[in-house]
Amino acid sequence: FFWLSLNVWLFWKTFLLYYQGRQYYYLHQMLGLGLCISRASASVLNLNCCLVLLPMCRVLLAFLRGSQKVASKKTRRLLDKSKTFHVTCGVTICIFSVLHVAAHLVNALNFSENYNEDFQALNAANYRGEETSIPFHSSNTSYLVSVSVPGLTGVIMVLVLFLMCTASTYAIRVSNYDIFWYTHNLFFVFYMLLMLHVSGGVLKYQTNLEEHPPGCIKPNKTLHQNMMVPRAFEDLLPDYTTEAFPEDLSVPEPFARNNFMRICSEEPKFQSHFPETWFWISGPLCLYCVERLYRYIRSNKPVTITSVISHPSNVLEVRMVKDDFKARPGQYVILHCPRVSALESHPFTLTMCPTDTKATFGVHLKVVGDWTERFRDLLLLRSNQDTEILPIFHQRRYPKLYVDGPFGSPFEESLNYEVSLCVAGGIGVTPFASVLNTLLDDWKCYKLRRLYFIWVCRDIESFHWFADLLCMLHNKLWQENRPDYINIQLYLSQTDGIQKIIGEKYQALNSRLLIGRPHWKLLFDEIAKCNRRKTIGVFCCGPNKISKILHKLSNGSNSYGTRFEYNKESFS
C-alpha cells in the first residue's frame, strides 16, 4: 500500500508541477498535456528503476534476516516477498514506459505544430510545420526519435525492455531458462542508456521569473499586436519596464482580466534541467554493484565435491565442502559451473548444512532443463547399473564448481515457531530437508516443539530421496521419548494400487503413507484443535495450487483461537 501511494503521489505532484508551474508556462503552452504526462510518468519510472534493484540485493536481505535487525516476524515476512516486489516494479516500469513514449511522441509533433517564433531557445523543431504528410514520420519527429540522444537511447531502451519483459514470462522460463537468464542481464545496458537518456536537455524551464513573469506584456510588441492601444500609450513606456500603468490611463480589459499586471523587463531565459535520474538510481545501482563484487570475491574459490548421488526420478544429490562456509537451515546457494555455462548460474536450496562437527553441505537438484542435464553429464559416470531404486555413489574427478551464498529464505523461520506446519510438493521438499537434518543433529536448542511434515509426491520412488533421513529422525525421537515431536504424513497422489516404500527399514514410513491428496480443511482443523490459542507457522514449497489453498486456509478463522502465519516459496 505504501508503494502504491508513493507512486500515485509522485505522479500527481509532478503532473501539477508541469501543469501549474510558472517556470513551465511557455513550455506547457507549446506542448500541452503531453508535457505533464511525460514528466509525471518519468517520475514514476525513476522511483521504480530505483526500487527494482533492491530486492535483488540478496546479501543485504540475508543480513537483515539473519542478524535479527528486523525483530518482528511480520516485518521479516515482507522480506520474503522480495521477488514479488521485484516483479511488480518491473511491470510498473513496462506500463509507464509505454505511457512515457506515447506522451513524447505527442510532444515531438507539438514541437513542430506549435513552433514559437518569439522564444527560439524553447524550440526543438527548426520551423513551424516541419513535417511530411505521413503521420508520425515528420522530419522533426524522426530527428527527435532516431538522431537526438534522448530519442536514440529511448528507442534502444524500449527494445531492451521488450526483450526482458517477454523473456520473463513463465512459458519462456520453463521452456528455455537460458533465454530468460541472458536477456535479464541486459539490465546493465538499460541503466547505462538511462543515464545517457536524461542528458539530452530537450525540455527547458524559464529561469528569470522575476524579470519576465510568465505571460507578461512587452509594451512595444505584445500590446501593439493583441490590443488596440493608443499611440500616446506606447510613447509613455520604454521598451522594457516594471513600472505600473500611468494613473491617468485605464488598464486594457484583457490585461486586467488575465491578471497581466506586470510589464516584461527582459526576454525570458530558458535552461535545461539537471538530470534527476542520477539521484534516483545511482545509490541502488552502486549498492547492487558493490554486492555483486563482494559475491564474486566470496565465491571465486571452487568448492570440493565429495560425492554425487543419483536418486530416482531424475534427482541428483551433490555433497561438497568449502572453507569457512556457514549456513542456516532453509537457506539457498547459487551454483556456477564454467564447463556447463560461462555466465549462467542457478539457485538451489541447501538440503544439508554444515555444523560444528561436520563441514559437509549439499543440494538436491532435479534434472529438468539444459543446464541441469549438462551438469549431470559432467558429474556422473556412464553406468549400466540400475539406479531406479537404490542410490549409487560415484567417485571421479569432478569439474570446478563455484558456490555463491548462502542467501535467506522464508524457511529459516520454521525453527522459530513453537509449532510449524511444513508442506512440500515433490522436489519442493528440499528446503525442509535441511531443517530435518538440523533437528537430527540437535533439536533441543530450538524453539520448535512440534513439527507437522506433509509431503505429496506423484510416484513412490520420490520418497526415497529423504526416506533414510526421515527414518533416522523418527527413530531418534522415539529413543528420546519424544515421538510426538514430529508428525509425518506422506501422500502418494498417483497410483495404480497399494504401494509401499521398499525396504524393511522404511516400515515406519509405510505406516504413514496415504493414497490420494490431503484434505486440507480437515488437516487445519485437526492441527488447530490440538494446538489451541497458539501461533503456528505454515511453510509451503510446491505447486501454486497447493500454495493458494494453504494461504486461504491460513487467513481463515477457527473456533480454537489458533492463528496460522503463512510463509511460501515457489520453485517455479
Q: What per-residue confidence (pLDDT) applies to 92?
A: 94
User: What is the 3-state secondary structure of 268-312?
Assistant: CCEEECCCCHHHHHHHHHHHHHHHHHHHHHHCCCCCEEEEEEEEC
Q: What per-residue confidence (pLDDT) applies to 234?
A: 44
Q: Indicate the pTM of the whole model.
A: 0.73
Tell how strand 332-336 and strand 304-311 pair up: unpaired
Domain ranges of the chain: 1-61+76-148+200-207+273-285, 301-379+398-407, 414-430+439-496+505-569
List Cα–Cα distances, 114 to 34, 122, 338, in angstroms.
13, 11, 58
Q: What per-residue confidence (pLDDT) applies to 318?
A: 92
Contacts of 251 by beta carbon, 8 Å cutoff, 6+ apart = 245
- The sheet with strand 563-569 has its strands ordered as 513-515, 486-492, 450-457, 419-425, 535-541, 563-569
Which fold is adopted by the domain 414-430+439-496+505-569?
Rossmann fold (3.40.50)
Q: What per-residue confidence (pLDDT) applies to 142?
A: 53
Cell triple for 230: 493608443
List Cα–Cα distances, 212 to 25, 261, 268, 359, in angstroms.
11, 12, 6, 75
- How many angstroms from the chain centroid is the CA of residue 563? 29
Contact (CB, 8 A) for 327 and 350: yes
Closest CA to 341 of 178, 168, 173: 178
Q: What per-residue confidence (pLDDT) applies to 559?
A: 84
Closest CA to 207 of 107, 111, 119, 108: 119
Q: What per-residue confidence (pLDDT) applies to 475?
A: 85
Tens of pLDDT along the chain (572 residues) come to: 789 999 999 999 999 988 888 888 877 778 888 888 988 999 999 999 999 999 888 888 878 776 555 556 666 777 777 888 899 999 999 999 999 999 888 888 877 777 666 666 666 655 555 553 334 444 445 555 555 777 788 888 999 999 999 888 888 887 777 788 888 888 989 998 888 887 766 777 777 777 777 777 665 554 444 444 444 434 444 444 444 444 444 444 443 444 444 677 777 777 777 777 888 888 899 999 999 899 888 888 899 998 888 888 888 989 999 988 888 888 899 999 998 888 788 889 998 888 878 888 999 998 887 888 889 888 886 444 444 444 545 545 788 999 998 888 888 888 888 999 999 888 888 888 888 888 888 888 888 889 999 999 888 888 888 888 888 888 888 888 888 888 888 888 876 655 565 556 677 777 788 888 889 999 999 999 888 888 999 998 888 888 889 999 988 888 888 899 888 664 43
Q: What per-residue confidence (pLDDT) applies to 363?
A: 92
Contact (CB, 8 A) for 17 and 205: no
Which fold is adopted by the domain 301-379+398-407?
Elongation Factor Tu (Ef-tu); domain 3 (2.40.30)
Q: What per-residue confidence (pLDDT) applies to 221?
A: 52
Q: What per-residue confidence (pLDDT) applies to 293?
A: 92
